[in-house]
Structure 1
């Protein structure tokens, strides 16, 4: 089981770099950040853009994988996003995973002055967004005309470092979005909702059925469980974490990602010492760290 950490893009950048370098040194496999313009209870606090933030982290590190958790079509177009992702794939020397979701109804959905879409229309838009991204990241030139996006001769040179394209990780919990995972994704992201393990089992069954319908082996899709947005507290102790990891490993999950505890956050209030305890128990430290470039 790989273990990753989600760090919010809200702290002063030098402090964030120091934190991320430490996580890499502890041996964590992946670093994720939320891709929003502003977010929930951080609406009136500093909040940096995900792609430039991850670009800075790519330059400050050399081994830890980087990912968006998750990007959405609420404020993105597939052409510009694909170009940014391809560029970051090069800057990070092939360490980027692009997490993508349908988008919510919060600040990102209304910042351009429009009202939020219904759930069904958000899934419709996501389906086209993922389909166009998939093609853009695979080939040097793309044209497309659909309900939500028009693309005329978009050039994507020199292409991704990772071939045939960088990995796409689709966040999905419903039947239609799980169908997108089966068709396009290299990884599936879920947080299980408050129903927890039972809901995730049901989602996994739906994903398996979609894969069977198109002749794809579901075992070839990585499974990422994000923890920290439900009432379950796997970071309360090492025993709680071990129990959680064991249960989700049995469900075929290949990676667990937790929110880094924050003393100034009302939800992620676990003792930050758990980050070191998990690393000492499960991970191999990396030393010395060789950043890609000097900041």
Structure 2
């Protein structure tokens, strides 16, 4: 099981640089940062840009994979995203992981656009194959429902060939099918299979919420099993990433609890887990010492 960390881009680089270096030194397999204009979980927090953050991280780390968690078509045009991807893959000497997802609607609303859930799904379905072409072909022409390119150049290509790995975020059937066709990895935050919410002072209800979440994760894993089986023989299996601390108690509050949760992910066929670098308060409150022990 590989363990990765995700940093919220809320700290100035003079503070964040050492954390990225520490993740690299501890032996984390990969490190990610959110790709949003603002995050609904901390709408009033300071918030820095993703691509410059990853560029800076590439220059202060040596071995750790670096990823977007996750880039979406809600404010990124695929031709511009492709150039950022090629540049970051070069700066990191082939360590970039491109997390891609349909995203929510907050980013697009900031830019003056509103998209329905169906439109976001179709935008994503158009983005992924077009981005594949932009990273592997030269002179790409495309006139789609949402995006247009005219003679977009694909030079230089990625350091990683034929292109950087796509890690596609998917919790629903259409996006999961997209991951099975175009992805080298699949990442999920899971979903609740029971009623949401649990009072903070009700341990039994909180425990049931976690159990319910794991039931949803198991359902998604089984669905991906079926999608991969449909691809036929000879296809390389997707790496499976689970964002393990998005729901329920923060994983890094206890080493025993963290080990139990990670083991459960492995039993469901996940190859990688992603935890958030511990913050001093919610969300993702936890202990760096727990993370150090997990990675040690």
Please report the TM-score for the alignment, with normalisation by the length of structure 2.
0.89
- CA deviation after TM superposition for structure 1 residue 158, in Å: 1.3
Q: Once superposed, what is the RMSD of the aligned Cα atoms?
A: 1.6
The separation in 1 between residues aligned to 2:104 and 2:239, in whole angstroms, is 24
Uncovered stretches (5+) of structure 1, i.e. residues with no partner: 281-295
The aligned counterpart of 2:292 is 276
119, 122, 126: which is aligned to 1:121? 119
Structure 2 contact 3–274 (Cα < 8 Å) conserved: yes
Deviations 1:71-91 (A, max 9, x none): 111100000001110111001
The aligned counterpart of 2:15 is 15
Structure 1 contact 182–218 (Cα < 8 Å) conserved: no
- CA deviation after TM superposition for structure 1 residue 218, in Å: 7.4
Give yes or no for the alignment of 1:159 onto 2:137. no
> How many residue pairs get matched?
277
The separation in 2 between residues aligned to 1:252 and 1:138, in whole angstroms, is 30
Please report the TM-score for the alignment, with normalisation by the length of structure 1.
0.89
The aligned counterpart of 2:176 is 178
Give yes or no for the alignment of 1:243 onto 2:260. yes
Partner SS for 2:253 = coil
Structure 1 contact 7–32 (Cα < 8 Å) conserved: yes
The aligned counterpart of 1:47 is 47
The separation in 2 between residues aligned to 1:215 and 1:47, in whole angstroms, is 43
Partner SS for 1:24 = helix
Give yes or no for the alignment of 1:76 onto 2:92. no
- CA deviation after TM superposition for structure 1 residue 228, in Å: 2.1
Partner SS for 1:18 = helix
Deviations 1:31-78 (A, max 9, x none): 100001111243223211101100000011111110000111110000
Give yes or no for the alignment of 1:63 onto 2:80. no
- CA deviation after TM superposition for structure 1 residue 192, in Å: 1.0
Deviations 1:152-182 (A, max 9, x none): 1100211000011000000001111110011
Kindly indicate whether structure 1 or structure 2 has the higher relative contact order, using CA contacts under 8 Å at least 6 residues apart: 1
